[in-house]
Structures are given as C-alpha cells and as structure tokens.
Amino acid sequence: MSDRPDLPRGPRVIIEEEAPPQPRLDFQWEQAVVPVPAVAVKPEASKLSGIGRALAGAGIIAGGLATLSAVNFVVDQFARGPIEGLATLGILGVGGALLGGGLWRELRGLAAIRRTDEARTAFATGDLAAARAEALRWAASVEQAASLQPALRQAQSIDEIQALIAPVQQALETQAASLGRTAAMQAFAMTAISPSAGLDVLIFTWRGIKLVRQVASLYGLRPGAAGTIALLRRTLIDAATVGATDIAVDTAARALLSNPLLKHVAGEAASGAVAARRMLRLAAVTADSCRLTPR
C-alpha cells in the first residue's frame, strides 16, 4: 500500500492543443449589404478625327498666312509713309473687329441652343442645381419670365421650377402659333400667285427661315446662320413626314378634277394650302425645339 493520501476525484480536464488559424472565407457580403461608392472615372478627352485635324490644320495655315501677309502689308505701308500705314492699320482693325464680332455672335447663338439641350437633360435627370441655373439663365433672356428670377432662386425642387415656368412657356407657345399662322397666310398667298414651282421653293425657304428665327428669338435665343441651320436640322425628320403627307394631299386634289382650268386653280390652291400647313408645323416644331423643359 502506498502511504500517499488519496486525492479527491473530480472531473477530468482535457487540454487540447490550439488549432492553427484557418483563412477567413470572404464572400463580400458586406459589399452586398453596404454598397461601396464607385470611383469616378475621368472621361477621356475627345480626340479629333482625321478630317477634323485636317480642317484644323488648314485653318491654322490659312489664318497664319493671312495674318503674316497683313502684318507685312502694314509694315510696307508704314515704310511708304505714316499716313498710309495708319490708314491701312485702321482698315484692317475695323474689318478684323467686325469679322471677330460676327464669329462671336454665331458661336454665342449656337452655344445658347446647346444650353437648351443641357437644360432639358438637367430637368430629365433631376439635377436641381443645374436645372435652377439654366432656368435663371432662361428667365434673364426672356422678357415674360424676368419676374420669376427671385422665385426660381428659392425653388427647392424640380417640380417647383417647372410649375413656375410652365405658364410662361404656354404663353410663348401661343405666340409661336400666332407667328406660324401669319407665316402660313403669307405662304398661302405667295404660293398661290407664284408663276413657277421653283419660285415657290424659294419663297417657302425664305419665309421658313424667317419664321424659325422669329420663334427662336421669342424663346430668348439669338441664332445666327449656324444656329438657324442647327434648328432647321432638328426639324428635318418631322418635315420629311409632313412632306410625304402633303404630296399625297396635293396629288389627290389634282386628280379629283378633270377640267384643265379647274385642275389648275385647284392645284394652285392645294399647293398654297400645303405651304401653309408646313409653316404651321414648322412653327410648332421650332417652338418645341426651343423649350426649356422636355414635354
């Protein structure tokens, strides 16, 4: 027997060795629950195409050679005498100022039309800051909307801005329709008494361009030649659809009459009616293109 006293028996404690840490499986659940903000990617600068580079190079060469020729000419004139030099410099200065002013006006008119597209995008996407800025710019250029500027500055939503400018835009559409009716009556009268179809085309073209400029000015735009072409280009698709309908109406009107005199009279009247209808449609399409907010 052992002389060691008996120890009290208790629960057996098993000591296990700690297992090495296992790699954590990451299924990116946190990103699924809390989206990680996307990093803004800076768009690449637009590159000129081959034709664009060729035109830019040709413009630089032509402009540079013209400038050098003008400078040399002025120097030669000063060599002949101070009066000749000053007169030449004054002529070139006035001519250059008029040329630069005309180009600046064309670019400003074209930029105003593009700003209208930017305003529509801002209203469509809900960009409140951009929409308010474009609405203030528009109100400053339109006489009927000048009094809305304080309210537009305090507007807190896109819907509030649209509600403020909606009555003015409705009034502008009414005035544009009135301009279209005036142009339609003039086109009807001039086309009915015109002796040739070629003259009809010239009359309609002249009156249509004038109508486009009148409607654009009504909406606060001051389009030059480039701006007018840009507005006319927007109406080509709609004008093509209207033109197909007008040709069918004109053909039907001429085919219904067998008497040559009546056929001629009815044909001229039908041509005048077609021209008047095109003027009305042109006024409506131009007004829609100049609207600040999308329909």
Query: What is the C-alpha to C-alpha distance for residues 169 and 131, in angstroms, rounded to an integer?
Result: 15
How many whole angstroms separate alpha carbon 176 and alpha carbon 284? 7
Lowest mean pLDDT among 77-91, 159-173, 242-256, 277-291: 242-256
For residue 256, the model assigns a pLDDT of 44
> Which candidate, 181, 75, 142, 155, places its Cα nearest to that of 290?
142
How far, in Å, CA of 257 to CA of 265, rounded? Answer: 10
How far apart CA 11 and CA 16 sit, in angstroms, is 16
Maximum alpha-carbon separation in the chain: 150
DSSP-based three-state secondary structure for 192: helix
Q: How far is CA 176 from CA 46, 206, 244, 252, in A?
A: 37, 18, 24, 30
DSSP 49: -
Average per-residue pLDDT for the chain:
75
Q: What percent of the chain has pLDDT over 90?
A: 5
The verdict on pTM exceeding 0.75 is no
**Does residue 223 have a pLDDT over 50?**
yes
Residue 188, pLDDT above cutoff 70: yes
Mean of the pLDDT values across residues 43-71? 77
Which pLDDT value is given to residue 257? 44
Across 119-140, average pLDDT: 88
- Here the tokens at position 13 are 């404690």
Residues 6+ apart with CB under 8 A from 179: 211, 214, 215, 218, 283
129-151 average pLDDT score: 89
**What's the pLDDT score for residue 264?**
46
List the structure tokens of 189: 């009268």
In angstroms, rounded to a whole number, what is the distance separating the alpha carbons of residues 248 and 23? 78
Residue appearing with tokens 């005309």: 102
Please give the structure tokens belonging to residue 216: 């654009």
Q: What is the DSSP string of 111-165?
A: HHHHHHHHHHHHHHHT-HHHHHHHHHHHHHH-GGGGGGHHHHHH--SHHHHHHHH
- What per-residue confidence (pLDDT) applies to 17? 53
pLDDT at 179: 92
Lowest average pLDDT, out of 75-89, 134-148, 236-250, goes to: 236-250
What local confidence, expressed as pLDDT, does residue 178 receive?
Answer: 92
Better-scored residue on pLDDT, 27 or 162: 162
For residues 180 and 184, give the distance between their C-alpha atoms in angstroms, rounded to a whole number.
6
Contact by Cβ (8 Å): 214, 246 = no
Cα–Cα nearest to 276, from 209, 182, 196, 206: 182
Q: Count of CB atoms within 10 A of residue 72's CB?
A: 10
Q: What is the DSSP letter of 42?
A: P
Residue 161 pLDDT > 80: yes
Q: Is the dihedral of CA 193, 237, 289, 228 positive or negative?
A: negative
